[in-house]
Amino acid sequence: MLGRILQLLLKEFLQLKRDKSARLRLLIPPMIQMVLFGYAATFEVFDVSTVILDLDRSQESRALIDAFVHSSRFRIAVPAASEREVRDAVETSDAQVGLVIPPGFAELLRKGRTAPIQALVDGTNSNTALIALGYVGQIAGSFSQDYARDLAQRTGRLQGKPMVSVILRERYWYNPNLNSRWFFVPGVIGTLALITIVNLCAFAIVREREVGTLEQILVTPIRPVEFIIGKTLPFFLIGLMEVAIVASVGMLWFRVPFRGNPFVLLLGTCLFLLAALAIGLLISTVCTTQQQAFSSNFFVLNPLFILSGFSFPIASMPPALQYFTYIDPLRYYLVIIRATFLKGVGIEALWHQMLALAIIAFVLLAAAVLRFRKSLD
């Protein structure tokens, strides 16, 4: 039994050694994806193009505009002379945010009264819109606090009543600067491993089926289980290597900290790769051509990605969809990999995820072996 598995292993690596393009396919695309995600994927909002219409033209209104200019969040793109111009700028996408300071702004402030300003936000990208609006609120809020304190001092508390206020002191744990790269990079590692391994595994077996070598091997004394082990073990090893390489890039190049125990991550990775191999194997049992395998992979991998919580919070999904996330191995692996990277927690905090992954891997593998035997008939 061991001898036959070893022969298959040897053959797989020999074929891989010979296939230069396959080796490149294993290394280059994950690197590119990693770099792309590392640089391009960010939730942070900087330099929102903004148009400001100042109808008050007072010292106060200019101070408020200065606060926006100095915040690095907003870039004053176009000066506007009328409300119409503000609307046009947002409509033509020259600006994403339009701010209008109405006449009488300073007068209200000086009397210690509430002074409204108007913000028009382009809502087509709802994510950016929301974040930008948050910044507008923050800047306006701190401006008014400063102004009130100032006014109270100048007028001996006649104007600008001493303010009673609740001050929020935020502290973000694990990622104090809310660096979204720290959030994305570990997730990319898991996603890339899933895509690579499912593809490799499905294609390798379907190719043998297509060419006819599968049939040739099956008339030898090899047992289906031996064939599956010999055929998938190389991809398991490749998967481990790939996770290690991509993780190194994340740590060394993108400076994402790794605070946890590498062995906890290794355990999680092994369970996760088993589940991924089983998915690839299952796909290979329903496909007879590589063409079919290609479209099936896309069909399976896309939902796994979306339901994993990679970028869309699972808690915000409708309940029916949330149930589906429970059978998505990537969901659990993302928790494990993010927690080991950023939180540095150990197995005691992650055993739920490990157990779930182990169950998924076992069920999928069992199904794959059964289906594989059946598909031969």
Partner 1 sequence: MNGAARIVVDRLVKRFGDFTALDGVSFEVAPGEIMGFLGPNGAGKSTLIRILCGLLHPSQGRAQVAGIDVAKDPEAVRTRIGYMSQKFSLYNDLSVVENLRFFGGIYGVGRERIDARVTEAVSMAGLSGREDTLVANLAGGWKQRLALGAAILHRPPVLFLDEPTSGVDPESRRRFWDLIHTLGGEGISVLVSTHYMDEAEYCHRIALISGGRLAALGTPRDIKRLGKEAGAEAAEPTMEDAFVALVGQAQGGRAAA
Instruction: Kindly tell me the burial class for residue 174, based on how many C-beta atoms sit within 10 Å of its own C-beta (0-12, 13-18, 19 or more).
Output: middle
In whole angstroms, the minimum distance from the beta carbon of 276 to partner 1 comes to 25
Q: x/- site string to partner 1, residues 212 to 231, per CB under 8 A?
A: xx-xxxxxxxxx--------
Q: Where are the alpha helices (DSSP H) in the chain?
A: 2-18, 20-40, 59-69, 83-91, 105-110, 126-154, 180-211, 213-218, 224-252, 262-286, 290-306, 319-325, 329-338, 347-376
Binding footprint of partner 1, residue count (CB under 8 A): 25
CA contacts within 13 A on the Cβ side of 257: 10
Q: Buried b vs exposed e over 145-155: b needs ≥16 C-beta within 10 Å?
A: eebbeebbeee
7 near partner 1 (CB under 8 A): yes
19 near partner 1 (CB under 8 A): yes
**Which residue lies nearer to partner 1 by CB, 8 or 354?**
8
Per CB under 8 A, the segment of 15-23, 37-45, 86-94, 288-296 that binds partner 1 is: 15-23
**Which residue lies nearer to partner 1 by CB, 110 or 207?**
207
In whole angstroms, the minimum distance from the beta carbon of 77 to partner 1 comes to 58
69 near partner 1 (CB under 8 A): no
- Output the CA–CA distances (angstroms, integers) from residue 316 to 245, 267, 307, in the order listed: 33, 29, 11
Distance of CA 219 to the CA centre of its chain: 46
14 near partner 1 (CB under 8 A): yes
Per CB under 8 A, the segment of 87-95, 132-140, 211-219, 341-349 that binds partner 1 is: 211-219
In whole angstroms, the minimum distance from the beta carbon of 205 to partner 1 comes to 14
Q: How many residues does the chain have?
A: 377
371 near partner 1 (CB under 8 A): no
* Phi-psi category of residue 245: left, alpha or beta, with phi > 0 → left and psi -120 to 50 → alpha: alpha
In whole angstroms, the minimum distance from the beta carbon of 21 to partner 1 comes to 12
Instruction: For residue 185, report the phi and psi dihedrals to the nearest 5 degrees.
Output: -55, -50
Per CB under 8 A, the segment of 29-37, 208-216, 348-356, 362-370 that binds partner 1 is: 208-216
Nearest by Cα to 105 from 154, 152, 147, 163? 147
**Which residue lies nearer to partner 1 by CB, 63 or 222?**
222
130 near partner 1 (CB under 8 A): no
Residues that bind partner 1 (CB under 8 A): 3-4, 6-8, 10-11, 14-15, 18-19, 211-213, 215-223, 376-377
